[in-house]
Structure 1
Amino acid sequence: MTQTPTLILTDARIRTMDPARPFAEALAVCAGRLVAVGPAHEVEALAGPGTKTVRLGGRAVMPGLIDSHTHGLWGACRDLFEVYVGLSGSLRLLLDSIAARVAQTPPGEWIVAGPWRPFERPSLGAVPRALLDAIAPNHPVVVKDLSQHNMWLNSEGLRRIGFGPDSPAIPGGEIERDASGVPTGILIEAATAPVHPQIAPTAAQLSQAVLHMAGYFHAQGITGFKEPMAFAPELAAYAEADLAGTLNLHVGAHLTRFSAITGDWVPMEDIAALRARYRSPHLHTAFAKLFLDGVPVARTAAFCDPYPGTDPALHDPEAMLLVPPARLNADVTALDAAGLTVKMHAVGDRAIQAGLDAIEAARRANGASGLRHEIAHANFIRPQDLARFAALGAVAEMSPKLWFPNPVTPGQRAVLGDARAESCHPVRSLLDAGAEVIYGSDWPAAAPDANPWTGIAGMVTRADPAGLFAGHVGAEQAIALDRALPIFTVNGARALRLEQTTGALRPGLSADFIVLDAPLETLTAAELGAVQPRQTWFEGTQVFGA
C-alpha cells in the first residue's frame, strides 16, 4: 500500500529519466522518497489530511543533476580565499589583483592567485618570479595555472619550499631554470608537490568551504557529485558536514592512490583506512584515483603522435606516462579486487589507451567485478579505442567543458594544432559505439564555474551557448538533448554506484529533483545554457529557491 505523502507536486511537466514512464504530471513524496509518479489525478488521489499539495502551473520538473568530476572544496576555497581573475583575465589584471591583496595581507603570509596560462608563457618574461617580486617582495606568492597542474612562484615562495640552484630534478615534473640554473619560478606537474602543504586550507576554512560549495551546487540544480581527488582533510570536512545535516548532496570521493601533483603513492592499507573512517550516509568512499598523464597546455599529456613542432625522433609517449603500464595494470587489478571504482586522469590518446589496457588486465585477472572504472577527461581518444569502452565496461568521463569554444580553445589549438583540437571529446562517437558517458565540470581546473547548463547546451551544439566565443569544436560530435540528459543524471547516478537511489524520478528513489520555469525541450541553445533552477530538492527537502 502506498504511503500517504507529505508533499505532492502536480500540474507539472515532469521528465522522469525513467524509460518505463518518461513523462508525468505529478509526484508524491514521503520520508524523503518518491512514493508515486504519474498522472495528476492518480497522484492527487493519494493526498491525506497532512499532505501539502503544490500546483506548479505547467513548470518543469526533472531529476537533480550529477557532476561526476568536480573539486568542490578547491573551487569553494578559490572563491572564498584566493585571488581569481577568471580564465580570460589579463596578465595586467592578475598582477594588479595580487598587488591589491598584498596591501591587505600581513607580510609573510602566503597569497594564492590565478590563473596563468602556460601557452602564454613568453609573456611572463625570462624570469617570471621577478614580476611577482616587484609587487610582493615580502610575501610568498603562488599563482596556479588554469589546469591547476602547474604553478608560478615568486622568490619568497621558492625560498619557503627550499628550491634553489642546487635543487635536484624532480621525476614527473620540472623546475624551470634560467641559464645559470636558478629557478625562474615556473613549476610543472610533480615539481609543485612541495607547495601544496604550504597553502593547504585549515580545517575551519574547509568547513566554511563545504557550506559555500553546497549552496552553489544547489543553486545550479546539482544534487550529487564526485570529488575526484580526496585526501583526509577533504574527507573529514565532507563527513562532518554530512553528519551535521548541512551537506545535502550525494558525494562519491575518489581516494587518491597516486597523483603527480603530490608525487606520492598512498599505501593500499591507508586507502582502506580512509575508506572505512570517513564514509557516512551521503559520503561514499569506495572509489580511487590515479593520474596517468598531464595536460596539453603544458605539453605533458601523453599522445601517441608528437606535438606539432616537436622532433618526431625525440617523441617518446611511454616516457610521458606517469605510471609505467606494468605498474598501472597491477594497480588497477588490485584496486578492482579491493572493490574500488578507479578514476584515471587520462587526457592524451596514449594515456587513454594505457588506462583501457589496465582495465582489460583487471578483467582478465579478476573476472567481471561489476565495477565500472572511469577514464577521466577522455579528451583525445584513438578511433580504434572507442569500441573498447563498451567492451570493457569502462566509462568515458567528459570533462572539463572544452567541447565548445571557450577561453582555453586558442591555447589548445596553438599547442595541438587544429585537427587534434577538433577531435576533443568525441561524445557522439562514444555513444554510437555503446559507451557509457558521464559529465564532469572539473571545476575549478580549466573551468570558470561548475554550471552544468552550459555543459549541456555546449554538448548539444558544440558552440558557446553564451555566444562569447565564435565557432565550434568538433561540430559533428553534437548530440541531441535526449542523448545528453542521461549523461548528467542516470549515468552520473550509476557512476556514484547509486542507481537504486537517485538519478531518476520513480517510486522508491530519493526525492532529488529540480523545478524549472520551462521544459528543456522548448528552449533554444542559448536559453538552455542560461537555465537557472527555480527550486532544488534533496531527499524531499527544499535546499534552494523560493
Structure 2
Amino acid sequence: MTSNPSSPSDSTPGRIPPERDGTPRRESGRPLVLTGARIFTADPGHLWAEALAVAEGRILAVGTVAEVERAAGADAERVEAHGALVMPGFCDVHIHLGLGGRQLAWELPLLPTDTAGQILAKVREWSTGRGPDEWIVGGIVGSTIMDTLASVEMLAALDEASGGRPVMLRDDSMHNRWVNSRALTLMGVETDTADPRDGTYVRDRDGRLTGVLWEMASQAAEAAVAAGIEDLEAYLRRALIEGLGAAHSFGITSMQEAATMEPTLRALQRMDHAGELTAWVVTSMPAQPFLEPGPVGPELFEAAAQYRSEHVRPDFAKYVLDGVPMTRTSAMLAPYRCCTDQHSPEDRGHLIWDAEELRASLADTVARGLGAKLHATGDAAVRLALDAVEHVRSLHGGAPRFQVAHAEYIAREDLPRFAALDVVADASPYIWYPSVIQSSIAQQVTAEVFEDSWPMRDLVNSGAVVAAGSDWPCALPSPDPWVGLQTMVTRRSPDGSLPGALNVSQALTMEEAVAAFTREPARAMGLGDVTGRLAPGLSADFILVDQDVFAVAPERIHHTRVLQTWFSGRPVYTAARDTAGPA
C-alpha cells in the first residue's frame, strides 16, 4: 500500500543534513534552537511558528526566531532545517506494537492483496530449511481471501505447502486465523471438539474442520504458538524494538497499545529502565479472555500497576463488545445482507457482553482509576458502549476516559452522544478507504449501512474528539500515518489501486486530520499535558518531513517521508541518505 518515491534532489527544500553516522550530534546540557522551518504546532492558540527551542528534553520556546533565540540564550546549539515542515510527533491511539513487531522480527510477511496461490507459495518457500516441528507464523491474509479458505481442499493445500510443519496465519482484522492440520493437532482440536465461547472452528457442510478459526477460536492457536517460544522475554524485546523502529520511521512518538498482556507490559518496563523505550506507551489491558493466552480482567489490572514507569502508562482496560463485519460477528441493529445457507435472514451478529455485565465491569474498572477502550464495530455494539458509559458517568462523573474503537457504524441518533458523554471516536482510516477489507464488508452489510460508514465529519462537527489509530498490523503491513491522513481528507484509496470513494461527505480538512493524529489522540490517551503539541513545557517530540502536507495536492500526501523523528529532545530516527537525499 505504501509507496517508495525516488529520492529528492539536492535542491529539494526541507532537508536537514544528517551527520556522517546519520544522527545529528548533541552537546549535553546546552539548549537547541531549530530554525529555517515552517512549524505546525497543533496548538490551537498558536498554530504556526518560525522556530523552536529545546532544553532538557522539553520544548523551551516556540515562536519567532527572535523570541526563541532570546529564550534559548547565546550558548544554544543551532540546527538549520532548510525549509522543512516541522510537526508534532504523531500519536497513534490504536496500535498493536508487539504484534506488529513480531511480524517484522520473526514472521512470514504476507500482503492483504496476496491470492491464495501466492500465500501457499510463500508458505512453501518459508518452510524450506526449517525444522519439521518449527511453527510457520505469518500474516496478513486479506479478508476477501479468508472468505474462500473454509474447505478441506484448501486445508490440504496448506498442509502440502508447509511440508507437515504447523502453520498459523493471521487475517487483516487479527480476529481470525488460518491453520493447518498439524496446528489443529497441537491445539488439541478434533472434529467433535466443541466451539469455544465467542469463537468458531469453522467446518464445512459435512462437519469437517477447515482450518479457519473465527474470533476466540484463535486463542488456542496463539497458545500453541506461544508454547513453542523458548525465551519469551527476548522474543518480545526484539519484537518491540522492531516495532518502535518502524513507528519512528513514520514519525510516531507516542502510542496506545490496544491489547497488552502481562509479558508485554513487563518487557516494555524493562526496556524503559534500560533506556530503550523511545516513545510514550499507554497500554490497554484486556478485561476478558483474549486472543492471546494469559491473565485478564482484575487479575491483570492489579498486576499492571507494578509495570508503570516514566514512559509506560498502564491506564486503560480493553473491552471487546463484538467481532468484525467480515465474518458477520459485528453486532448490528439491522440484519446483514441476505443470504446463504449458513446465515439467517435475521442475522445481526452478536454482542459478547450483555448490558448489565458491561455496566458492572466498567464501574469496577473506573473505580480502579482506569479508562476503557471499547472495541465496537457494529452500531448495536456502539449503542451498548454508549449506554454503559452513560451509566458509569452518572456514578463517577467526568473523570474516566472512554474510547470507542473503531467508530465504524453509528446510528444517527447516537452520533451526538459521543460529544455529550465525552467519548472518543477511535478512528481507523487505514481500514476504511476502498480496500480488500471494505470489499469483503460490502458483501456482508446492506448498501445503506455501508455507504453511511465512518461518519468523521459529523462527529467533528458535533464537538466529539476524533483520534486516529493505525490498528497496525491489521489491514496494512506498516503503521504509515500519511496513508491515514490522506484517507481522512480524500476518503479514497491513497494509491488509486481501488476505485471509488467511501462516504465522501464525511471528509475532514487537512488541519482537522493532522489534529486527529497529534493533539486529539494525545488527549484521548491522557497525554495531553505531555505531548501531541509543540508548546512550552511539553516533551520535545517532533518530526521533520520532506514536503509541506498543507500545500501539496491531497493525492500526494501519502508520498510524504519523515526525515527525522525526535523524542524527548533527541533524534531517534534519521532517514538514510538514499531516502533523505544527499546532505
TM-score bucket of the superposed structures, by smaller chain: over 0.9
Deviation at 1:58, TM superposition (A): 2.2
Q: Alignment identity in percent?
A: 36
Q: Which residue of structure 2 lines up, in the alignment, with residue 398 of structure 1?
A: 427
More deviation, 291-300/209-218: 209-218
Distance in 2, Cα, partners of 1:125 & 1:242: 43
1:495 to 494, 519, 524: 524
1:80 to 95, 105, 122: 105
Alignment of 1:471-486 (within 5 A): 471-486=500-515
Amino acid across the alignment from 2:47: P
Distance in 2, Cα, partners of 1:458 & 1:98: 32
**Given the superposition, is the C-alpha separation of residues 541 and 121 from structure 1 closer, same or farther in structure 2, using an over 3 Å criterion?**
closer
Distance in 1, Cα, partners of 2:175 & 2:347: 21
Verify the 8 A CA contact 1:374 1:395 in the aligned structure 2: yes
Query: How big is each residue's C-alpha offset from its partner over 1:323-345, in whole Å with a ceiling of 9 and x where there is no partner?
Result: 11110111111111211110011
Q: Does 1:254 align with 2:280?
A: no
Q: Which residue of structure 2 lines up, in the alignment, with residue 315 of structure 1?
A: 346
Q: Does 1:191 align with 2:208?
A: no
Q: Which residue of structure 2 lines up, in the alignment, with residue 285 of structure 1?
A: 314
**Given the superposition, is the C-alpha separation of residues 331 and 27 from structure 1 closer, same or farther in structure 2, using an over 3 Å criterion?**
same
**Given the superposition, is the C-alpha separation of residues 121 and 372 from structure 1 closer, same or farther in structure 2, using an over 3 Å criterion?**
closer
Query: How big is each residue's C-alpha offset from its partner over 1:130-178, in whole Å with a ceiling of 9 and x where there is no partner?
Result: 1212222421111212211111211111110111122123221111224
Deviation at 1:113, TM superposition (A): 2.4
Q: Which residue of structure 2 lines up, in the alignment, with residue 388 of structure 1?
A: 417
Amino acid across the alignment from 1:152: W
Distance in 1, Cα, partners of 2:205 & 2:35: 71
1:216 to 246, 262, 272: 246
More deviation, 76-85/415-424: 415-424
1:449 to 474, 478, 499: 478
**Given the superposition, is the C-alpha separation of residues 324 and 266 from structure 1 closer, same or farther in structure 2, using an over 3 Å criterion?**
same
Deviation at 1:260, TM superposition (A): 5.0
Q: Does 1:151 align with 2:208?
A: no
TM-score between both structures, scaled by the size of structure 1:
0.95
Distance in 1, Cα, partners of 2:413 & 2:79: 52
2:69 to 38, 44, 47: 44
Tell me: higher relative CO, structure 1 or 2? Use CA pairs within 8 A at least 6 residues apart.
Answer: 2
Amino acid across the alignment from 1:205: Y
2:449 to 408, 420, 437: 420
1:365 to 374, 395, 406: 395
Distance in 2, Cα, partners of 1:273 & 1:122: 39
**Given the superposition, is the C-alpha separation of residues 264 and 301 from structure 1 closer, same or farther in structure 2, using an over 3 Å criterion?**
farther
For residue 493 of structure 1, give the secondary structure of its aligned residue in structure 2. helix
**Given the superposition, is the C-alpha separation of residues 403 and 136 from structure 1 closer, same or farther in structure 2, using an over 3 Å criterion?**
closer
Q: Which residue of structure 2 lines up, in the alignment, with residue 176 of structure 1?
A: 202
Verify the 8 A CA contact 2:433 2:493 in the aligned structure 1: yes
Query: How big is each residue's C-alpha offset from its partner over 1:47-94, in whole Å with a ceiling of 9 and x where there is no partner?
Result: 445411112232211111111001011111112211122110111110
Query: How big is each residue's C-alpha offset from its partner over 1:208-247, in whole Å with a ceiling of 9 and x where there is no partner?
Result: 1121111111110111000010001111221121111121
Verify the 8 A CA contact 1:177 1:184 in the aligned structure 2: yes
Q: Which residue of structure 2 lines up, in the alignment, with residue 101 of structure 1?
A: 126
Amino acid across the alignment from 2:346: H
Q: Structure 1: which 5+ residue stretches go unaligned? A: none
For residue 534 of structure 1, give the secondary structure of its aligned residue in structure 2. strand
**Given the superposition, is the C-alpha separation of residues 176 and 313 from structure 1 closer, same or farther in structure 2, using an over 3 Å criterion?**
closer
Q: Which residue of structure 1 lines up, in the alignment, with residue 157 of structure 2?
A: 131
Verify the 8 A CA contact 1:5 1:35 in the aligned structure 2: no
Deviation at 1:512, TM superposition (A): 0.6
Query: How big is each residue's C-alpha offset from its partner over 1:422-471, in whole Å with a ceiling of 9 and x where there is no partner?
Result: 22211001111111111111011123320001101110111122222221
1:227 to 250, 257, 260: 257
Verify the 8 A CA contact 1:153 1:185 in the aligned structure 2: yes
Distance in 2, Cα, partners of 1:427 & 1:63: 22
Q: Does 1:354 align with 2:384?
A: yes
Distance in 2, Cα, partners of 1:21 & 1:400: 27
Q: Structure 2: which 5+ residue stretches go unaligned? A: 1-28, 576-583
Query: How big is each residue's C-alpha offset from its partner over 1:267-293, in whole Å with a ceiling of 9 and x where there is no partner?
Result: 41431222x111111010011101000
Distance in 1, Cα, partners of 2:539 & 2:151: 56
Verify the 8 A CA contact 1:430 1:437 in the aligned structure 2: yes
Query: How big is each residue's C-alpha offset from its partner over 1:278-322, in whole Å with a ceiling of 9 and x where there is no partner?
Result: 1111010011101000001111111011110149976364x7001
Distance in 2, Cα, partners of 1:489 & 1:448: 22
For residue 76 of structure 1, give the secondary structure of its aligned residue in structure 2. helix
Q: Which residue of structure 1 lines up, in the alignment, with residue 136 of structure 2?
A: 111
Q: Between Structure 1 and Structure 2, how many residues are aligned?
A: 540
Verify the 8 A CA contact 2:59 2:536 in the aligned structure 1: yes
**Given the superposition, is the C-alpha separation of residues 219 and 304 from structure 1 closer, same or farther in structure 2, using an over 3 Å criterion?**
same
Query: How big is each residue's C-alpha offset from its partner over 1:458-487, in whole Å with a ceiling of 9 and x where there is no partner?
Result: 101111222222211111111111111111
TM-align CA RMSD: 2.0
Distance in 1, Cα, partners of 2:327 & 2:498: 23
